[in-house]
Structure 1
Amino acid sequence: MSEFKDRIIMVTGASDGIGQQVAAALGEAGANVIALGRNEEGLQQTMERIEDSGGRCLCVPFDLLDFDNYGKLFLSLKDQIPHLDGLVHCAGSIDRCTPMQYVKSKDFRKMLDIHLTAPNMLTQIMLPLLKRAPAASIVFTSCDMIKEDQANWHAYGLAKRALAYAASMWQMESPDKPYRFNTLNPGRVRTALFKRTFGGEHPKMVPASSSVVPAYLYLLSDASKEQRGQSLHAADLLKD
């Protein structure tokens, strides 16, 4: 029996890309998935994949940039579910890479909000449900800029690099708690974001988004309970 059976795990960005793959895998493993995303058609596909595998999915069309509705989201869930065993932050977006000298302020702020403000504020608002679980796991999704300096990624790169510090800070503020926070860099995988930002690189030259799912499942599992406040790369976890 899968250890994920009957666990309740929220996944953002679940309508496409890595988020959809993680949500589908969790559903197949027996978890009750709360799938958040802006694309309702994509969420419907996610739900169908989960239900076809015998899993259960609650789809929640939600714009993570609508911070005023975070409280409503929590209130809608707190009486429906006993707790949250996991929270996976996969939501992300970028239209194009732009040098810092040309990026517009509205685009700069949007990248900071979706990739840094949103995952931290959603974690904050869901913390009461995470605290109710025996040992919850929160996973932030970073990228190569976590350790590499790369030009033209403006606030996207800044936000992703800051996530490592965010996970560490969350963990330092909860040193003796059973819940844990980690940051995972999936590396380059075939997603819509990859196609927009690496247009000159053939998609077949990078692995499918499903290839990094085992790394996410590891961080959500009891096997990773000693990983706390760490910044990890999927390739390193998948080598073992």
Structure 2
Amino acid sequence: MTEFSIPEPEKFTELLSLKNKVAIVTGGSRGIGKQIVKRLSEAGATVVFTARGKDALQQTQEEITAAGGNVVGVQADSSKIQDSKRVVDYTVEKFGAVDILVNCAAVFPMKNAMDMDEKTWDQTFAIDTKGAFFFAKLAAEKMIAAGNGGRIINILSTAANKPLSSLIAYGAAKSALWYVTQALAQELGQNGIVVNAVTPGGTMTEERLAALKGGDMGDLAQSFAGSDSANGSDGPDFNTILNKLPQMIKSMMPLGRLGFPDDIAKAVLFLASDMGQYISGVNITVDGGQSLADPKSSMMQKIQDSSKN
């Protein structure tokens, strides 16, 4: 008869510690990715993060290093497999291992189905799906060779759950990445590698906040209101949408606000730490309950009502 034993639970103070762990975060120079880098670093991990823009990489590296974090920014394009391999090889050569991978790099072009072109479609899938898959594959190879297990966390989007024609390529690519996440979780579990996803809802990043303050929210407003209002057809005045959008968003959300990058980063930290060591093939939606309603119809009704007043 096989004997079973239950291990002693870890100390509470150690559950979120990533001391002596090495992480890679793609798309880590701004927004959600940057906050993920900060949280993993604060938990004790050494973090290699990527982005295509050299200046943003350097600025983020200097900022987090000054706060005591051990981070290195590496310029890379996630759509290019040779770049992914270079980053993974560099991480193992310099720091000895890769224990955690967070795929956060993404593009989200706003184009309706009838306006979609092949170049935009291919670029979206190259970064959001293909790039994430090969980063995961290459990192998993190093994890398997080391024999210490690992964590792979893919950042998805609610656009994969509730189709919006203006985000058709992005939503389709993120839907595909969810399939990849589950398939990898099934295949890599025998190697002690857990694979999960985190799905942000509407999230207010520093870049989006700057756009909001500057009044440059046309794309966001159009995605809620549809193309008719932007084209001058019968619909609410476009300035009405822009002026009332912040108040409408607030009133729509069950928790009264949009998400912030740290809401997502804390979920990633949970899955990367020993708190999530027996969780695999799971998608944690971090949207403050936004997915409980239909944002498009609710927003449109509010816009239509306001235009009558």
TM-score, with length taken from structure 2 = 0.70
5 Å matches for 1:146-165? 146-165=160-179
Query: Residue 214 and residue 20 in structure 1: after superposition, are their counterparts in 2 closer, same or farther (change >3 A)?
Result: same
Q: What residue number does 2:264 align with?
A: 212
Structure 1, unpaired ranges of 5+: none
Q: Deviations over 1:198-219 (max 9, x none)?
A: 2454498523222321111001
5 Å matches for 1:1-240? 3-95=17-109, 97-131=110-144, 132=146, 134-191=148-205, 192=207, 197-199=219-221, 200=242, 201-202=245-246, 206-235=258-287
| 145-154 vs 8-17, which moves further | 145-154
C-alpha deviation, 1:236, in angstroms: 7.5
C-alpha deviation, 1:43, in angstroms: 1.4
CA contact (8 A) 1:163 1:183 kept: no
Measure, in 2, the Cα distance between the counterparts of 1:140 and 1:101.
29
Measure, in 1, the Cα distance between the counterparts of 2:165 and 2:27.
25
| SS of corresponding position for 1:80 | helix
Query: Residue 74 and residue 28 in structure 1: after superposition, are their counterparts in 2 closer, same or farther (change >3 A)?
Result: closer
Higher helix share: 2
| SS of corresponding position for 1:18 | helix
Query: Residue 71 and residue 211 in structure 1: after superposition, are their counterparts in 2 closer, same or farther (change >3 A)?
Result: closer
CA RMSD of aligned residues (A): 2.4
**Bigger radius of gyration among the two:** 2
CA contact (8 A) 1:82 1:129 kept: no
Measure, in 1, the Cα distance between the counterparts of 2:50 and 2:132.
12
CA contact (8 A) 2:154 2:197 kept: yes
Structure 2, unpaired ranges of 5+: 1-13, 212-216, 222-241, 251-256, 290-309
C-alpha deviation, 1:39, in angstroms: 1.6
